[in-house]
Structure 1
Amino acid sequence: MPDTHNVRDLGGYASRVGGTTQWRRILRGEALHPLTEDSRAELVDGNLSLVIDLRGPHETGIAAHPFGDHPSVAYRNIVLFDALSPIAMAQQPFDMAERYCEALDRCGARFAEVFRAVIEAKPGIVLFHCTAGKDRTGVVAAMLLATSGVSHEDIAADYALTASAGGLIDHLRNRALAAGTDPRLVERMLASDAETMEAFLAYLDGAHGGIEAYLQKIGLTAIEITALRDRLCT
């Protein structure tokens, strides 16, 4: 869609459980308020069933969400982790990988809510997003792909693709610099290095025993974990 920069499909990745993740099942993206009527119609015609908005109230209040009251597309606002919003990250120095790992430790209940929303969605496409489609969206995408048996290497490469969303990154950079944010902090905030995601995945394995153990720890049952995997894989 020409009015977005970072809406991507999680389909096409090889899975260790066999086959590949399926196309047109789950999309990841950035803020959707710039969508034109034609782009909204394209998503609806493609059988979009649920939009999960991971942003906090300081972000959702900027503009009305195009699917906030849509007659045929469900909308859920599940505030994942405000410390991963661009506004929060522009306030003080931080380590991106550490912040992602902190989300694992602190936001189990919210992750569970997101994953149950995916499981319970009506048949069709689920699209989840934040502001840039990189951080909150990136960790959720990583966990969905890990649940589906995708390799760490491919998950990290998927995360790094945000760096190619030049128009979006330029817009966010200019907005942050205009607000007086330290340029070095801006570049760190906007980076999407594969190494950052590799560190997150290593922490998921080392501190939490891997994705399945983590999902069980935050309350998902074996039946729910299978249903979550099936949403993307079958």
Structure 2
Amino acid sequence: MTATSTDRWIRLDGTTNTRDLGGLPTTDGGRTLPGRILRSDNLQTLSDADIARLVDEIGLRQVIDLRTTAEILLEGRGPLRGLPDVVHRHFTLLPERGHHTDVFAVEEDDPQVELPAAGWAESLLPRQVAAHDEGEPPAVRSYLGYLGQRGENVVAALRALTEAGDGASVVHCAAGKDRTGVVCALALAVAGVPNEEIVADYALTAEIIDALVAKLAASPTYAEDMETRDVASHTPRAETMERVLSLLDERFGGPAGWLTTHGFGAEEQAALRARLRD
């Protein structure tokens, strides 16, 4: 079906879902470049060896964190936060309470930033579902929600990737499959990667879902969610991303059309494409 291969996995001690978006074919016969954009689950438990590989070998220079403010505060500072050569940017894709748009602009002991007593999910605002999306499966509704309720942050994350300069960027959330999956799908679409390859990359997370769920279950931040839902409910399905891409095609003429509508136009798309392409 596709040319997507699992040799793009980056095996680290502290993550289970890290891979390079390089090496994917494009519609004009090219390939995406390795070492430009990585995707990953939470980076809180990276080992010293992991950091050396990411920073010294791969050249990581930017972290795009899609988690909520509460998730970041509850998990605490990850080991990459102490490195002056690695820039951290924060763009939540979930509607949340509070006014901090970038948690990295404030310190964890800021009295205005309160940790949610009942868990990070309590920091979220109720999700709104557009009437024409109410019949969609839950995962599709969630992904459309990122685009509908946090479209400005989706665009901001892609803009940060575009402007990153030399070195690699890593996009991550908690599991590295949903929020990360939507941002990476749009980036790959801009690079000219065909839909079937975007879907295949998204679905790769299913290969390591048991280890991923076990890792998240070991964190007090995510343990309850992992325990109340079975592994199957956490497993990404190809048809989910297929449906999202199909709806973008129907409503906007494709991901590029959605981006243009939301202020990320042809010039910026060309710059992102140049960063990702050979």
Question: Normalized against structure 2, the TM-score is what?
Answer: 0.75
Equivalent residue for 1:48, pick from 60, 72, 94: 60
**Does 1:135 find its partner at 2:178?**
yes
Match of 1:5 in 2: 16
Matching residue within 270, 275, 278 for 1:226: 270
Q: Which has the higher contact order (CA 8 A, sep 6+)?
A: 1
Kindly tell me: are residues 134 and 87 of structure 1, through their superposed partners in 2, closer, same or farther at Cα, counting changes over 3 Å? farther
* Contact 2:146–2:154, Cα closer than 8 Å, also in 1: no
Give the secondary-structure state (helix, strand or coil) at the position aligned to 2:84. Answer: coil
Number of residue pairs aligned between Structure 1 and Structure 2:
229
Indicate the SS of the match to 1:76: strand
CA change 1:20–1:174 in 2 (3 A) is same
Distance 1:193 1:71 in 2: 38
- After superposition, residues 75-224 of structure 1 pair within 5 angstroms as 75-82=88-95, 87=121, 95-165=138-208, 166-172=210-216, 179=224, 183=228, 185-187=229-231, 189-224=233-268
CA contact (8 A) 1:28 1:127 kept: yes
Change (3 A) 1:175 1:22: same
Once the two structures are TM-superposed, the CA of residue 66 in structure 1 deviates from its matched residue by 2.1
Instruction: Please give the root-mean-square deviation of Cα atoms over the aligned residues, in Å.
Output: 2.6
Unaligned stretches of 5+ in structure 2?
A: 1-11, 97-119, 128-136
Query: 1 CA distance for matches of 2:52 and 2:156?
Result: 27
Match of 2:30 in 1: 19
CA contact (8 A) 2:213 2:226 kept: no
Amino acid corresponding to residue 139 of structure 1 in structure 2: V
Give, in angstroms, the shift of residue 212 of structure 1.
1.3
Instruction: Decide whether aligned partners of structure 1 residues 140 and 228 sit closer, same or farther in structure 2, where only a CA change above 3 A counts.
Output: same
Kindly provide the CA deviation profile for residues 11-68 of structure 1, in whole angstroms up to 9, marking residues without a partner as x.
Answer: 1111013311111111000000110112112111121111111111221012212222
| Change in CA separation of 1:82 and 1:7 when aligned onto 2, cut-off 3 Å | farther
1:207/1:122 CA distance change after superposition, 3 Å = same
SS class of match (1:14): coil
Q: TM-score, normalised by structure 1?
A: 0.88
Contact between 1:69 and 1:75, CA under 8 Å: does it hold in 2? no
SS at match of 2:77: coil
- Give the conservation status (yes or no) of the 8 Å contact 2:177–2:202: yes
Cα pair 2:13 2:47 within 8 Å, conserved: no
